[in-house]
Structure 1
Amino acid sequence: MTSVDRYLEAATRTNTRRGYRSAIRHFEEVWGGFLPATADAVARYLADHAESLALNTLRLRLAALSQWHLEQGFPDPTKASVVRKVLKGIGELHPAREQQARPLQIEELARLDDWLAARIQESANHDEQAARRRATRDRALILLGFWRAFRGDELNRLRVEHIQVIPGEGMTLYLPRTKTDHSARGSEFKVPALSRLCPVDAYLDWISLTQLTEGPVFRRINRWGAVGDEALHPNSLIPLLRKRFVEAGLAMPEHYSGHSLRRGFASWANANHWDVKSLMDYVGWKDMKSALRYIERPDAFGRERIERALAQT
Structure 2
Amino acid sequence: MKMTDPVQLPSSQPLVLAELADSTRAAAEAFISAGTAANTVRSYRSALTYWSAWLRLRYGHVLGDAPLPATVAVQFVLDHLARPLADGTWAHLLPPAIDVALVTARVKGGLGALAFNTVSHRLSVLGKWHRLNGWANPCEEPALKTLLRDARKAQSRQGVTVRKKTAIVLEPLQALLATCTDGVRGVRDRALLLLAWSGGGRRRSEVVGLQVGDVRQLDVDTWLYALGTTKTDTGGVHREKPLRGPAAQALAAWLVAAPADSGPLFRRLYKGDKVGTTALSADQVARIVQRRAQLAGLDGDWAAHSLRSGFITEAGRQGVPLGEVMAMTEHRSVTTVMGYFQAGSLLDSRASQLLGPTPIASEAAPEPAAGSKGTSVFCASAMTNAGD
> What's 1:168 paired with?
220
CA deviation digits over 1:232-258, x for unaligned, max 9? 222332222111111122x21x42222
Matched, 1:151 2:230: no
CA contact (8 A) 1:177 1:187 kept: no
Give secondary structure in 2 for the equivalent of 1:307: coil
Could you tell me how far apart the structure 1 residues matched to 2:141 and 2:335 are? 30
1:98 positional shift: 4.5
- Tell me which residue corresponds to 2:231: 179
Q: Give the whole-Å Cα distance in 2 for the aligned partners of 1:306 and 1:173.
A: 45
Q: CA RMSD in A?
A: 3.5
Q: Which one-letter code corresponds to 2:175 in the other structure?
A: R
| Identical residues among aligned pairs (%) | 24
Residues 184-213 of structure 1 deviation map (CA, whole Å, 9 limit, x = unaligned): 433210111x2xxx1122112222222222
* Cα displacement string for residues 126-182 of structure 1 (whole angstroms, at most 9, x for unaligned residues): xxxxxx3x3222111111112112222221221111111134131111111233335
Larger radius of gyration: 2
Q: Determine helix, strand or coil for the equivalent of 2:223.
A: strand
When normalised by structure 1's length, the TM-score is: 0.75
Q: Which residue, 118, 121, 127 being the options, matches 1:57?
A: 118
- Give the direction of change, closer, same or farther, for the CA distance of 1:29–1:141 in structure 2 (3 Å limit): same
Inter-CA distance 84–268: structure 2 relative to 1 (3 Å threshold)? closer
Q: Which of 247, 250, 254 pairs up with 1:202?
A: 250
- Which residue among 249, 255, 275 is the counterpart of 2:321? 275
Equivalent pair of 2:208/2:265 in contact (CA under 8 Å): yes
C-alpha change, 1:67 and 1:230, in structure 2 (3 Å) is farther
Aligned counterpart for 2:166 among listed residues 78, 81, 102: 102
Question: What letter is aligned with 2:308?
Answer: R
Looking at secondary structure, tell me which structure has more helix per residue. 1
In the alignment, the residues of structure 2 paired with residue 243 and residue 85 of structure 1 have an alpha-carbon distance, to the nearest angstrom, of: 41
Distance 2:323 2:229 in 1: 22
Q: How far did residue 226 of structure 1 move?
A: 4.7
Distance in 1 of aligned mates of 2:136 and 2:315:
48
Counterpart of 1:47 (choices 78, 91, 96) is 78
Give unpaired runs (5+ residues) of structure 2: 1-24, 83-112, 360-388
**Count, aligned residues:** 288
Matched ranges for 1:3-22 at <5 A: 8-9=32-33, 11-22=35-46
Cα separation, 2, equivalents of 1:17 and 1:263 = 22
Partner Cα distance (1:110, 1:99) in 2: 25
Q: Which moved more, 1:256-265 or 1:237-246?
A: 256-265
Residue among 162, 166, 190 paired with 1:139: 190
Tell me the residue number matched to 1:123.
none
Is the 8 Å Cα contact of residues 160 and 214 (structure 1) preserved in structure 2?
yes
Q: Determine the C-alpha separation between the residues in 2 that align with 1:6 and 1:216.
A: 29
**1:58 to 1:140, Cα distance in 2 relative to 1, 3 A:** same
